[in-house]
Amino acid sequence: MSDHRPASFVASERDPRCPFDPSPGLLRLRGESGLPRLRVVHPVRGEIEAAVLTRYEDVRAAFADERLVTGDGIDPELPRTLFNHPGFLPAYSGPEHARLRRMLTGSFTVRQVERLRPAIRETVAAHLDAMAAHGPVVDLVEAFALPVPSLVICELLDVPYGTRSVFQRCAQVIMDGTAGADRLVAASAELNAAMADTVARHRAAPGHGVLGAVVRQHGAELTDDELVGFGTTLLVGGHETTATMLALSVLALLRHPDQLAALRDDPATTGPAVEELLRHLAIPAPLLRTAVTDVEVNGQWIAAGEHVLLSPLTANRDPALVPERPDELDVHRRPVAQLSFGFGVHQCLGQQLARLELRIALPALLRRFPALRLAVPETALRFRRGSTVYGVERLPVAW
């Protein structure tokens, strides 16, 4: 693995020979006994040095260690971006993070998310109908993987679905680890302005979604800026990761027809299959962490002020977690405590929503189009290798 790569890319770097597997460089790091440091490029901080954690126990412990923070409030010395904006939960730690997160947690419990099942089924069915009417070749990203979670998260937040093109365009820039600071700041400003209009509407008349609920219950405790940060955090996180997960899961399953058939034909396989796909693909690259005091990791010291990158991709493939065939996809595998949603106080708030969408959308797609196949050679596919959320750019399919 060479130096001076985007920070978000280093922790999720893939093998050029296989779009699903960790790069040989990452696997080499996992096999080393020390704590490697690499020079990487952060879109706002510029070139920095970061310790890279790749083993399961180390990554899990780092996720849970509140001395390794993604932020300690908004940094006025850095440009205003999605990641450095009031209300962006990972920008906070300790009591302030707990204060803000508790205002949202109730909207994302298993029970609350389960209420969305009928709406998700309806959305999935409508887009499958549209694919069938359009067929026989579509880009699965554009026709299905992106619009389904976008519509669901807009419904959940009570954000006008007509503004989705703005959100999607800005999110792609924001999540692109190769985008420079100027593009990142401009995209964040456009996204914030669009969300500010929605916040103003909910301030005037709180709606039925998450933002309306937060305004009704905690409006006096929050600034408009914090509400904007809540909205943009949930909107980007709620559609970007699920969309890329849907498309990449289909591609992985197309490589394993027997496992695709199991997910398509056996409802009992759905839950384990989704957990295994999450483990195997590990698409999100966690935000850079910084030590606020000296921290010991597996006998090695990270000094206060040092930066740390975590790799769920390699952690999820660690034989310490999966002793048998850790690099293979097996939808019949008993679910393990994979780290694709993180761990600890910053664990993904919307993970139950993402799981529900995947459990509904994947089997429905495969049953509607049992002869689903790639419409182009796999070598023609392009991947978002520099993105904070790894995925395939387009996925032309036929049936």
Please compute the mean of the pLDDT values over residues 210-220 and round it to a whole number: 95
Please compute the mean of the pLDDT values over residues 363-384 and round it to a whole number: 97
pTM for the model: 0.94
What is the SS3 string spanning the chain? CCCCEEHHHHCCCEECCEEEEECHHHHHHHHCCCCCEEEEEECCCEEEEEEEECCHHHHHHHHHCCCEECCCCCCCCCCCCHHHCCCCHHHCCHHHHHHHHHHHHHHHCHHHHHCCHHHHHHHHHHHHHHHHHHCCEEEHHHHHHCHHHHHHHHHHHCCCHHHHHHHHHHHHHHCECCCCHHHHHHHHHHHHHHHHHHHHHHHHCCCCCHHHHHHHHHHHHCCHHHHHHHHHHHHHHHHHHHHHHHHHHHHHHHCCHHHHHHHHHCHHHHHHHHHHHHHHHCCECCCCEEECCCEEECCEEECCCCEEEECHHHHCCCCCCCCCCCCCCCCCCCCCCCCCCCCHHHCCCCHHHHHHHHHHHHHHHHHHCCCCEECCCHHHCCECCCECECCECCCEEEC
The count of domains in the chain is 1
Q: Which of 302, 390, 346 is nearest to 8 (CA)?
A: 390
Please compute the mean of the pLDDT values over residues 373-394 and round it to a whole number: 91
| Residue 225: predicted pLDDT | 94
Predicted confidence (pLDDT) at residue 365 exceeds the cutoff of 70:
yes
Question: Sheet of 68-69: strands edge to edge?
Answer: 5-6, 37-42, 46-53, 307-310, 289-291, 68-69
| Residue 336: predicted pLDDT | 97
| pLDDT tens digits, one per residue of 86-130 | 999 988 999 999 999 999 999 999 999 999 999 999 999 999 999
What percentage of the chain has pLDDT greater than the value 70? Answer: 98
Residue 274 belongs to domain spanning? 5-398
| Residue 370: predicted pLDDT | 97
- Pairing relationship of beta strands 300-302 and 396-398 according to DSSP bridges: unpaired
Quickly count: other Cβ atoms within 10 Å of residue 217's Cβ. Answer: 12
Predicted confidence (pLDDT) at residue 369 exceeds the cutoff of 90:
yes
| Residue 329: predicted pLDDT | 97
| pLDDT tens digits, one per residue of 126-175 | 999 999 999 899 999 999 999 999 999 998 999 888 887 888 889 888 88
Bridge partners of 392? 383
Predicted confidence (pLDDT) at residue 2 exceeds the cutoff of 80:
no
| Residue 4: predicted pLDDT | 61
Which is higher by pLDDT, 160 or 217? 217
What percentage of the chain has pLDDT greater than the value 90? Answer: 73
| pLDDT tens digits, one per residue of 168-198 | 889 888 887 677 889 999 999 999 999 999 9
Say which CATH number the domain at 28 has: 1.10.630.10
| pLDDT tens digits, one per residue of 8-53 | 678 889 999 999 999 999 999 998 888 899 998 877 788 899 999 9
| Residue 7: predicted pLDDT | 74
| pLDDT tens digits, one per residue of 277-311 | 999 999 987 888 999 999 998 888 999 999 999 99
